[in-house]
Amino acid sequence: MNSDNTLPSQSAAGSTGAAKRLIAHNADRTPWYVYAAVLAFGVAAPFIFPAYTTQIAFLWMMILFALTWDIVGGQMGYNSLGNIFFFGAGMYISAVVQVGLFTDVATYTSARGGEQLVLDYGDFFFSLGLGTIVAAVGCVILAILLGLIVLGLRGPYFAIGTLGVALSARELAGTWELIGGGSGIAMPVYPGQPDEKSLVFYTAFLVLAILTFIAVRWLYSTRFGLAINAIRDDEDKAEAMGIHTMRHKLAAWSVSAFFLGMSGAIFGNMTGFVEPLEVAFPVATFGIFMVVMALLGGKGTLWGPVIGATLFHIVKEVTWTYLLGWQWVALGLLIIVNVVFFQEGIMGWMQRKWPERFGITVDQRMSASQSGKEGGQ
Amino acid sequence: MFDNIGLLTLAPVLNVQLLLDGLFIGAIFVLAAYGLALVWGVMNVKNLAQGEFVIMGGYLAWHLSTLGIHPIASLPIVIAIMFAFGWALYVLIIKWVVSRELFTSLLATFGIALVIQQGLNLAYGPEVRTAESGLTTHALFGGIVTVAEIKIVSFGLCALLAATVILFMKTSRMGQAIRATAQDARAAKIMGIDTEQVYAFTYALNAAICGAAGVLVSMIWVIQPFYGIPHSIRSFVIVTAAGLGNIPGVIITGLGLGMAEQYAGFVLGAEFQQATVVTLLVLVLIWKQIQAARHRQVVQ
């Protein structure tokens, strides 16, 4: 059911004796009807549940978040806390491009939303498409530049460093007057009806999530996937085996940034308003959600992030409104429980429970002797 | 953007104000950073809830002050409460994290931070608070420089607390056990040290130190449920820049950070004060990485 048939390593400290002996071959064994069912749900959902179109669009975005986080965090073992940076950067890039196509950005933002940008269909979709593409390319460039700096950091320093990047982007965006500072930029107004608008953005997120899934599924089945797994398991050894680690790390981070940038651009247009603290760089919400979702589903697996994101989003949407302010406390508790007591995630647990269903062959001989050794320690 | 820089040369006395304020604030940063260095060095837990402990201590002092207890008198009470709180956290959560991979502790303590800040928000609301100490403010240099008495008192308390903790670590039985565990946990265990208890004590001590720092913050500055993150980041900046187990380094970096922040806030504008801290963190990490790269080159 997944492309990566090694179990995610439980710890870097080397307690993965049994897991390391699993034989990896990167065939995606998901039956075709799972894909068909997901696709059918994706296409039919806005017509079956028209009231929840936006909610389900968010679900696709959450799946995209978890998938992109897992490229670097799960498959490569570089746990980033600041991937949300690319979301916000993409949003701002697209905003500047889209507004800049029709008017002067500085005067537009200094009017503080005093003037609205009303476009016709052709102009709107042209600006949306162009903004999204420029955002994606811009985020890849940013990922490479930043990656040269932060991807040299390892372990907790990487996590803190990326968190620092996201937080400083958030603070600095709030002080940059050209992009509206703390009061933000109003995006071009969608020319049609609200129902039609939500359907358009639903489709955009559905297509984007599917593209992301196809891209990571293909990536994990190639030599590249094996290489980043090798970096996760032991970076120094991977380097000694001749893998150009920095190049692989940059590539993986760029893929992540590419899709996050596009999702940011579309999200900005969907919300209609870009502002640094809550919309563009929500470090403590979306930024942490993506980590929690990937962990919940099982990091380092293909389907884990999808399952985790779906479960998390449904639970969040159902319970959020009933918790009356306690939702954030609940989120914190969920993170703690998930990280401390259930780190393998749903997919990791299922793979351990029924390895044969995932095409994992456990080498009994080796794992027995390994566990014997571990027991003796 | 740099409007105020001329002001500093026109009225050099203003520098005195900034340096003094930086010193008073920096002393508190040193306390929290020392606590972080302690848990990081002894049990390898990167405590992202550091700033939340500080703010929680501040709120306890504020709450006690509404009950009529002077903030300075509440210091021992807050220390005791935070110590117990830290111990409870250790037994409930941190215990399971100590021997795990590094990211686990980071994310688990992030979860703790989230629970604390949101809990404080629910309990006390998002208003900015200050625990009133009732001490006067002195004006120097004809009113250009103002020094609040409470800041001097807090600086003294900081020094007293730091000296107590350092003495405790150097001389007491528990302090020796903590240092032994930091050096080699397995060897310490063989020598008959209950490392489990040492870990619990260390984490609780850290919470207590942060709580004490929080009391001082609530007196000389402001507290708000969401002001914890900058405090955590400051601690990380100081500890990463100074290195573990380097007490003079932590003190100098902490005081330096306090002053740098005051200058950045004055020269660039108050909105840049937060950005300065975070940017400094990134810069320190980059510098660390360049060092590591050079080290790797030497090894090659």
What's the total number of domains in chain B?
1
Is residue B131's pLDDT more than 50?
yes
Cβ-Cβ contacts under 8 Å between A and B: the total is 120
Q: Which of 274-303 (A) contact B at CB < 8 A?
A: 284, 288, 291, 295
Identify the pLDDT of residue A259: 95
Shortest CA gap A336–chain B (Å):
5
In CATH, what number is assigned to the domain containing residue B116?
1.10.3470
DSSP bridge pairs for B146: B139
Query: Is any Cβ of chain A less than 8 angstroms from the Cβ of B46?
Result: yes
Shortest CA gap A124–chain B (Å):
35
Q: Round the average pLDDT of chain A to a whole number and report it.
A: 82
Is residue A73's pLDDT more than 60?
yes
Contact B32, B90 (CB under 8 A): no
Of B97, B102, B115, the CB nearest to A340: B97
Q: State what percent of residues in chain B have pLDDT above 70.
A: 93
Q: Which two tokens stand for residue B206?
A: 């850290």
Shortest CA gap B119–chain A (Å):
7
Give the pLDDT band of residue A309 (cuts 50, 70, 90): very high
Q: Rounded to an integer, what is the distance from CA B281 to the centroid of its chain?
A: 15
What SS3 string covers chain A? CCCCCCCCCCCCCCCCHHHHCCCCCCCCCCCHHHHHHHHHHHHHHHHHCHHHHHHHHHHHHHHHHHHHHHHHHHHCCCCCCCCHHHHHHHHHHHHHHHHHCCCCHHHHHHCCCCCCCECCHHHHHHHHHHHHHHHHHHHHHHHHHHHHHHCCCCCHHHHHHHHHHHHHHHHHHCCCCCCCHHHCEECCECCCCHHHHHHHHHHHHHHHHHHHHHHHHHHHHCHHHHHHHHHHHCHHHHHHCCCCHHHHHHHHHHHHHHHHHHHHHHHHHHHCEECHHHHHCCCCCHHHHHHHHHHHHCCCCCCHHHHHHHHHHHHHHHHHCCCCCCHHHHHHHHHHHHHHHCCCHHHHHHHHHCHHHHCCCCCHHHHHHHHHHHHHC
For the segment B145-172, what is each residue's pLDDT rounded down to a tens digit?
777 788 888 899 999 999 999 999 999 9
For the segment B59-105, what is each residue's pLDDT rounded down to a tens digit?
999 999 888 888 888 999 999 999 999 999 999 988 888 877 777 88
Q: How far is CA B219 from CA B31, B104, B256, in A?
A: 15, 34, 21
Q: What is the ipTM of this complex?
A: 0.81
Is residue A9's pLDDT more than 50?
no
For residue B236, the chain A residue with the least C-alpha distance is A160
Query: Is any Cβ of chain B less than 8 angstroms from the Cβ of A377?
Result: no
* Cβ-Cβ contacts under 8 Å, A329 against chain B: 114-115, 118-119, 122
Query: Is any Cβ of chain B less than 8 angstroms from the Cβ of A151?
Result: no
Identify the pLDDT of residue A365: 58
Domain, as residue range, for B124: 5-299
Query: Is any Cβ of chain A less than 8 angstroms from the Cβ of B240?
Result: yes
Which of A79, A157, A283, A334 should one mutate to test binding to chain B, selecting the residue with the greatest count of B CBs within 10 A?
A: A157
Determine how β-strand A273-274 pairs with β-strand B137-140.
unpaired
Query: Is any Cβ of chain B less than 8 angstroms from the Cβ of A81?
Result: yes
* Cβ-Cβ contacts under 8 Å, A157 against chain B: 240, 285, 288-289
* Cβ-Cβ contacts under 8 Å, A81 against chain B: 106, 110
